[in-house]
Amino acid sequence: MAVLWPTARGFAARLIRWHKRHGRHDLPWQNTTDPYRVWLSEIMLQQTQVATVIPYYLRFLERFPQLADLAAAPVEEVMALWSGLGYYARARNLHAAARAVITQHGGKFPRDPAVIAQLPGIGRSTANSIATFCFGAHAPILDGNVKRVLCRAFGIEGFPGSGAVEKRLWTLAAELMPVRHGAIHNQAQMDLGAMVCTRGKPRCEACPLAEICVARATGRTAELPQARPRREIPLRHATLLVMQHGKRVLLETRPPAGIWGGLLSLPELPAGADAQEWAERHFACRVIGVTCPRSGVPGTQSEPAPARCVPLGTFEHVFSHFRLNIAPLLLQVTPVPAVMEPGRQWQDLAGIESAALPAPIRRILEQLKPVQAGAQ
């Protein structure tokens, strides 16, 4: 027989009562059992705030109202709609999973959590959420909000992302599942973590678990859950070439794997390469009458750049596992008549809002638009 933690008594009942009065009930992906819509929201909400997700979710459904519409679309269009939301592997996996549902499951979303979890980009917690909310499955979930609630309520030590702690949390989450109202219970845990048991400044006075919470009783609310062990985040450098011809810039599609996979980006200049020579050799263009400084560590001194080959300002972008120091370099070029290689294109600056660009690249190109507004 499974053994519950001492504070488990009444856990689900407290949450369900609280959710009825104080939980979220009118989010765009609620009040539906359509697995496509629930799945889409679950993927978008991974490491992303609700307020950020809502407009993307609505635009996505306007363009792809059904799973079959998503599966039939080219991945480039999916990436363009996802542009700015970050963690772009989610979009690639979403598209791949939609196609898998069509080809492997006859267009019907699987009902079994174990089968759902086999689709690209869907883990155990997401699969259980879909199965619970759409098909009435009796399955626990364990997203970031739920982990925080459980760690505080039950005083669980250790970083919740570690294997041993996560295994313990899965066991606890399964033990806490009520016989009835499993979907409400799961939603209540997420809502509590998002609205009350927040990472910073939790509102313990409004929490339905306050009387049984170990963290509150022991004065450890600020310490639990324990943070990821600190490690040095490496700093990398990249010089990006902004090759401009009139009102257009040259972009290329990033490889599917790695950062910004599948999105359009600016070409990266190899360290130590001469910008003019490298651009002309690789991109069938002629740099107009200038010799550009060599690339190197951004922020170091170099020869003053001519007026038509200018740095656009170095800035830093932080990824989950490293920091990237980005040094964009503007080159005025004239294309040489040639067949454009696959994956490369000239993008009109007026259309960058709808292009599949990472946020840092969009930030760079936005600098050029005011200049173009006054161009003759």
Q: What is the CA radius of gyration of the chain?
A: 25
Residue type, 70: L
Give the residue carrying structure tokens 């290329």. Answer: 252
Phi, psi of 362 (to 5 degrees): -60, -40
Which among 376, 369, 291, 295 is positioned nearest to 329, based on CA atoms? 295
Contacts with 253 (C-beta within 8 Å, 6 or more apart), sequence order = 76, 262, 263, 264, 265, 343, 344
CB 252 within 8 A of CB 265: yes
CA distance 222 to 214: 12
CA distance 260 to 86: 8
Q: Six-digit token pair at 120?
A: 């690209």
Which among 279, 266, 269, 253 is positioned nearest to 336, based on CA atoms? 279
CB 152 within 8 A of CB 215: yes
Beta bridge partners of 268: 240
SS3 for 286?
strand
CB 72 within 8 A of CB 84: no
Beta-carbon neighbour count of residue 302 at 10 Å? 11
Beta-carbon neighbour count of residue 285 at 10 Å? 20
To the query of whether residue 42 is one of the catalytic residues in this protein, the response is yes
Which among 310, 314, 336 is positioned nearest to 245, based on CA atoms? 336
Q: Six-digit token pair at 275?
A: 């910008």
- Active site residues per annotation: 42
